Amino acid sequence: MAFRYREELVGKRFLSVSGVTKIDVNKASEWGWKAGVIRAASHKDNKNRDLQVLVEYDGVDWQRREWVAVYSLRTFRVFLVERTLVWAPRKVNSKEVTWPALTFAALTAEVILQAESQPVEFLHDKQLQFYDYANLQPYQEWDARLAGSDVGVDTAVLSDLSYQAAEWRTMQDGQRILTTTPSVLGGCRAQVYRVAGATQWYTAVIVGVNEHTGELTVTDDTVLEEHSEDPALVQMRLLGDGVIESIMRGEVVGVMPRRSRSNLQRVEREVTKSPATTGGRKKAAVRNNGQLNSSERPAQPAVPKWDWMCYSEIPIDLNVIMPLQTGLVLGVPCNGNNFRIF
């Protein structure tokens, strides 16, 4: 069974042919294909004629990313986005093997690709070849023998193929969770693509969800501020070993965010809003992973109101020194009436 096609574009690979490229309709392999990853989109409706996507091209520094108008004929003659994963034949060391490869669907195409000339992109080396999709088998489980373990394909290559195929499947599940069941993600950590800024990604904790718009409220680890991000428009990745698998099994996996200024302030506000007195101490109900835990507010240590300050180690008369209301201990007694600054 093939993986279900997901509509949102973020995180998908793409293939494109420039709008100024001269092409021979019978030689699709010579069209000057460019490939890369879509990081963000301007609209959720992929058919919107004003749709723009933020792309990073393979082999180009991410800082040279750019917004491109998908439906502009001046920009592209063909723009395809990844669809699903299949087993596709190829030769490795003159041996016939079958590797996992991505198929693609057209967002826009001035020139129609012939059925037998549909592109596939192999995992591991991203090589393009062209086949009739009807003759390819959907990818379901990793099979080292199909990939060439019996004909001498390097074990490191096989390991990378297996890893990338598993990562692709996990990414599809993670994106589906982010866009269809975000209510289960409270407290989970995520990596978020930074559309504008000096860094490519930032890590954050998911602290809220807007059920109507699908937007997530996240607390940025870097600046300890909250942002609203839409996982259908900006690429996000759930972090943590086994988190996605656990959510798919229906388990509760939310974790408390790491200690930060914003989290401490949030807890402090809860303490102020709903105190309960028991035995002379205040308690506050703090929400932790969907459960209410009672936590005591620790007693504050007494801060000395008056401290002595002196400026040398010579004998002094304590009766003539004026105490300073500093709130900080600035010296300690030494040799009777002598004080030392430290």
pLDDT digits (tens, 9 = 90+) for 299-309: 544 434 333 33
How many CA atoms are closer than 13 Å to the CA of 218, on its beta-carbon side?
30
User: Is the predicted pLDDT of residue 80 greater than 90, yes or no?
Assistant: yes
What would the mean pLDDT of 288-304 be, rounded to a whole number?
41
pLDDT tens across 311-331, in order? 333 344 444 333 433 333 333
* Banded model confidence at residue 4, pLDDT cuts 50, 70, 90: low
Contacts by 56-59, CB closer than 8 A, 24 or more apart:
58/34, 58/126
User: Is the predicted pLDDT of residue 157 greater than 90, yes or no?
Assistant: yes
> Which pLDDT score, from 0 to 100, does residue 239 have?
94
Q: How far is CA 320 from CA 110, 164, 208, 308, 332, in A?
A: 94, 78, 61, 11, 17
Identify the sign of the CA torsion 307, 308, 312, 314. Answer: negative
- Computed over every residue of the chain, the mean pLDDT equals 79
pTM reported for the whole predicted model? 0.73
> Which pLDDT score, from 0 to 100, does residue 148 have?
94
How many CB atoms sit inside 10 A of residue 119's CB? 22
Using left for φ > 0, alpha for ψ between -120 and 50, and beta otherwise, residue 22 falls in beta
* Banded model confidence at residue 23, pLDDT cuts 50, 70, 90: confident
User: 284 or 120: whose pLDDT is higher?
Assistant: 120
How many CB atoms sit inside 10 A of residue 132's CB? 11
Strand partners, 16: 34, 79
Single-letter amino acid, residue 172: Q
